[in-house]
Amino acid sequence: MARRPLPRILSNGSAQIARSRVLARTAADSATDVLHPLITITRGLRRLAAAGRRKWADTPKDRRGPLLFLVASVILVVALVPYGPLFAVIAVMAVAGWKGRERAVQKPKGPDESQTKRLRSLYEALVPYFSAAEDPAPLYAHGGDWTQAFPSYDFDESGRISRLLVRYPAYFTDGEAESRARIEQLLHAKSGRGREYHFGWDEEGNELTVTVLPPLPTDITAQRFVTAPGETVLGFTDPTGVQRTLPLTHGEEQRDVPPVVWRTGMRSTEPHLLVVGEPGSGTTTLLRSIALQALQHGDVLIVDGGGTGEYACLTGRDGVLTVESGLAGAMASLEWATNETERRLIAANRARQTGQPPPDDVKRPLWILLDRPSALGHLAAAEGREDPQTLLQVPLRHGRAANVTVVVAEQFDGLDALSDAVRQHTRARVVLGPATPDELEAVLGAPPHTTPTKDVPPGRGYARLGSGPVHRLQVPATPDPYDDATSENHRQAVMELLPRRSEPVAAVGAKALAAEG
């Protein structure tokens, strides 16, 4: 009878333990409620700091100084305003609290039926290329699981693939250009034609990233670019291709765009340029753009082998030595350019021997722009004269030391007529207009990492400087201002860049002919 109170005692002890647990949980919840604003603000400050670091890393090096000066100016103004630091702290805490709030995590939605069908079709198409009969656990097999091969993918509004991560077996020969070209051609065809794709091969991780590239801007017109002497803007490319941007003053909107900058002069490793393209692809536009930029700091000699009069706007301008389209004038002008290169070399050599700087006329750049030399070569052969390209050997071989730059533009059907000197010394290359992958590799020396499209706007192509990477390129619109088809906006943009007309003087070619006579 005396042992009956024992269960009651045990039950009272259990109740006390449960009550103590409830009290402890309540106290923990109360502490969490008290610390929740502090945790939120701390999380927000951490996110703001991470965003600031990313912004600083993405800012080009040439713009970090102005950005730092702007931030310091804002901090100084806030510090001088009455109650400025207090309001600044309150504002930062409010923003940190907003950034640090918990967000509802939305689980990514899987592909719909049409997207799944497209991915399945793409997977089945890759099976013959990424499978082997002796593979015990094949990643690619007919009727296999495509989710293991495509771990990441995105679709655009039209339902086509915009980004795709492809895994492939380690035994695939990704080091061979032909093997990779077959995969790129297949992905281009199955993912949707008419778009330009970038293929990023990761040989170490056995992964291929396929990305649809946005079209390059075509509203950029000729203008004064913010460049140093010896720098020429060939055009504009993707922001991931270069680490520099240039501000624009003309166009649909004021913005910064990534340029393809070609450096010339005595320290350049690619002192000469070769431009190749079909008729209407924009080769003459590029030469006209280069001439307008070169006239800021140097003299220009132009030989128009096609005789189309595309450079008439430059005739008689300050800095333009001559614009020749006939065979006799072209030969005389190029012979003068050869003699001028030799004279500069001798003057520079004498200055170095005496410990003096080179003369000013030697340091002033001289540009030789030759458009379609094959046409002049045919005329010279018909008349029994030597090819005008033979007169380019001295400027091409010794132009860097003499501060002479040669730019040659030719069409695809005239590439065989180019001399060995032009092929050997023009290490900066540009291809404009539609071209096959074989044609691009033959001119540039390396295939691009993107798929060229058939329908491209004028001035659209690829550029490669020496042994560097191949960049997509869009040449700024620089049409002939005397052409009736040129819009008023483009005409005014080009006319503003033209130097003033010089006094009537004899052309360089005429002088050379008179000297010969």
Q: Is residue 26 part of a domain?
A: no
323 and 418 co-located in one domain: yes
Q: Is residue 85 part of a domain?
A: no
Encode pLDDT of 151-202 as tens digits. 999 998 888 899 999 999 999 999 898 899 899 989 988 887 778 899 999 9
What local confidence, expressed as pLDDT, does residue 4 receive? 44
205 and 242 co-located in one domain: no
Residue 502 in this model has a pLDDT that exceeds 80: no
Binding residues for ATP: 277-284
Domain that holds residue 159: 113-213
Q: Is residue 106 part of a domain?
A: no
Q: Is residue 137 part of a domain?
A: yes
Query: What tokens appear for 306 in the block?
Result: 């096609």
186 and 247 co-located in one domain: no
Q: Is residue 91 part of a domain?
A: no
CATH number for 136: 3.30.70
248 and 180 co-located in one domain: no
208 and 237 co-located in one domain: no
- Per the model's pLDDT, the better-predicted residue between 198 and 32 turns out to be 198
Q: Is residue 318 part of a domain?
A: yes
Q: How far is CA 502 from CA 319, 338, 399, 496, in A?
A: 8, 24, 27, 16
Global pTM reads 0.74
**How many CB atoms are located within 10 Å of the residue 106 CB?**
6
Please identify, among 213, 239, 266, the residue that sits at the C-terminal boundary of a domain.
213
Whether the Cβ atoms of residue 287 and residue 369 lie closer than 8 Å to each other: yes
Nearest to 393 by CA among 368, 420, 374: 420
What local confidence, expressed as pLDDT, does residue 398 receive? 93
Binding residues: 277-284
Count of domains for the chain: 2
Best-predicted range by mean pLDDT (97-101, 134-138, 153-157, 260-264): 260-264
Number of H helices, E strands in the chain: 15, 16
Rounded to whole angstroms, how far apart are CA atoms 402 and 346?
A: 9
Residue 226 in this model has a pLDDT that exceeds 70: yes
289 and 426 co-located in one domain: yes
Q: Is residue 151 part of a domain?
A: yes
Q: Is residue 485 part of a domain?
A: yes
Beta strand residue intervals within 149-281, DSSP E: 152-155, 161-167, 196-202, 207-213, 231-236, 246-247, 256-257, 259-263, 273-277
